[in-house]
Amino acid sequence: MIDKELEIREVNVTRYVQPFREGGSLPALVDADDGFSYVIKFRGAGQGRKALIAELIGGELSRVMGLRMPEIVFANLDDSFGRTEPDEEIQDLLKFSVGKNLGVHFLNGAITFDANVDRIGEEEASKIVWLDALLMNVDRTVRNTNMLIWHKELWLIDHGASLYFHHSWDNWEEQSIKPFIQIKDHVLLKYATGVRDVDNRYRSLITEEVVQKILSVVPDEWLVDEIRELSADDARAVYVRFFCNRLTHSELFVNQIEQAREGSL
């Protein structure tokens, strides 16, 4: 639970180390002025600010549920990086990402979760599957698990493909009460035997106040939608109502999870 005001640290990027080209939005490993390394999601990438918002919300809700998620920071990028980068694609990305981006603490030595090798308990698997159904996260599949094993523990990364309703605000109310059919492809589905117990426990813990606290730290500049004439506070209100609706009707996506799991056995 978030029992106090949520704070996200700010760091300044000091060195661009390397891109992760397996990521569609070209995230990168960077060093920062606090002495640590981070995987940066750039505001100028394909999904832009929406992916950063989804990453922050998904990551902090993971923590609320007691799941392991590397620290999230706001990473400030100076315009000097774009001028010195020789790769034109990366140069353009950095140029359009000057300002506040999102960084996730780099887990040095971590390896990608492999469902054929790594084992996970029923409760943890059920919590992750339930959370991904709540977030409508389409990107936790066998092909791309977005989970790491670090010091023999499971860590979640990359929630940027969640909350896809916010790429088109028009049907957010309809989306908020949809089951989430894509859960059938979740890499942990077969282990998630306790989803209904998780729903009973966490549906009431992720309160409107908790969601509001998370939304309060999302930068205004990421939230403003000039095309749809949405202010930052307007956008925050939509996210809060989306989660309230979705949690009120959680039975719909819990049923979908159970049906998908039965069909996969």
Residues linked to residue 10 through DSSP beta bridges, in sequence order:
74
In angstroms, rounded to a whole number, what is the distance separating the alpha carbons of residues 118 and 114?
Answer: 6
Give the per-residue pLDDT at 169.
83
Report the phi/psi class of residue 151: left, alpha or beta, with left for phi > 0 and alpha for psi in -120 to 50: left
Give the per-residue pLDDT at 4.
65
Give the per-residue pLDDT at 2.
58
Residues of the chain with pLDDT under 70: 1-4, 22-24, 265
Measured CA to CA in angstroms, residue 261 lies from 27, 122, 184, 264 at distances of 33, 13, 7, 5
Give the per-residue pLDDT at 1.
53
Helix (H, G, I), strand (E, B) or coil at 103: strand
Residue 212 structure tokens:
């509001």
Give the per-residue pLDDT at 25.
73
In angstroms, rounded to a whole number, what is the distance separating the alpha carbons of residues 218 and 54?
Answer: 10
Beta carbons of 120 and 193 less than 8 angstroms apart: no
DSSP tag of 186: B
What type of residue sits at position 173? E
Helix (H, G, I), strand (E, B) or coil at 93: helix
Give the per-residue pLDDT at 138.
94
Give the per-residue pLDDT at 80.
84
Give the per-residue pLDDT at 32.
98
